[in-house]
Amino acid sequence: MHDALATVDQRCLIDLHLHLDGSISVPMARRLAELGGMELNDTDAELGDRLSVTADCRDLNEYLQKFDLTAQLLETRAQLSECMYLLQEDLARRGYLYAEIRFAPQRHGARGLSQRDAIEAVLEGLSRSSFEAGVILCCMRGGEEVHEANLETVRLASEYLGQGVVALDLAGAEALFPTENFRDVFELARKLNVPFTIHAGEADGPGSVRAALSFGATRIGHGLRAVEDDELMEYIVKNGITLETCPTSELQTSIIDDYAKFPLRRLLDDDVKITVNADNMGVSATDVRRELLLLTNIFQLSDADIQELLLNSAHAAFASEALKDDLVRRINAEFSAA
């Protein structure tokens, strides 16, 4: 076993790209169903199949179908609060130091919750755990039907910034609804001084990443398609843009067709600020430790490589400077002791 694998088992993990509704485990699903008065008669194996994609998942659109069930499990304030709390406790048990957990408040209104209701429920769950985390609010890709809801999400992100909310995002079917269509959403975010990341370069090409960067994004969710454009990559390196990569998810949504084709070495060698994340712990059946173990086995990562990846996450976090300094200190301490 490679020496670096022992380091991965240390308690110094960070996830900057983690979806609340995509990170529901079987026990969490049963608890949330109970809170919502919903019957789940599936066996654990059957429920696991409903929550996670199979190895033959073909694309992002098929991947997103797994969120149909989780949406039904997050329709009340009690469910949202409990989900946030249970996920934080799970992360603490797994050896995480910090995570940024994102969700789209406009997607939880089936039983009448407003966006404000959904945000306050998640923040209530956040406050119940001692695990250190921040909440990222997602705007959603779509047509005119989501426009006003997205602007409301931005305004609420501004209102709750510093109260548990740390940033804004744009998620959804990227190929169907191009990033460029959402320029006014992020113009408002900049006007209100709300930090943001944007899903880009996942189902769409380098042009999507360019659009996100033109809005002022300092982090890009996934962003792997940027490697198709050398000039764009030079810009990313020069401006210290962070890529929130999620290898297993990117394999499942066919951005790559083999783990060995994940451009890790190129990104590290070119000094790209790359981070490794789970995306959806439930849907993708993974976590940051598993992602790092996979990459270590394939690319023979050294201790220094893993330390760099984790430090990139610490430095890029939408967190206070004091918290980021503490994360850096704790990561360095783990590697010094390894």
Q: What stretch of H or E contains 177?
A: none
> Dihedral of CA 17/44/84/157: which sign?
positive
CA 262 to CA 64: how far, in whole Å? 21
**Tokens at 304, concatenated:** 């220094």
Can you name the residues that pair with 245 across neighbouring β-strands? 276
Can you name the residues that pair with 134 across neighbouring β-strands? 100
Are the beta carbons of 332 and 315 closer than 8 angstroms?
no
CA 314 to CA 161: how far, in whole Å? 19
User: Which is nearest to 259 in space by CA: 292, 305, 306, 223?
Assistant: 292
Cβ neighbours of residue 294 closer than 8 Å, sequence gap 6 or more: 247, 248, 259
Q: Which of 75, 100, 132, 202 is catalytic?
A: 202
User: Which is nearest to 16 in space by CA: 172, 246, 205?
Assistant: 246
Annotation marks residue 202 as catalytic: yes
Q: Which residues are catalytic?
A: 202
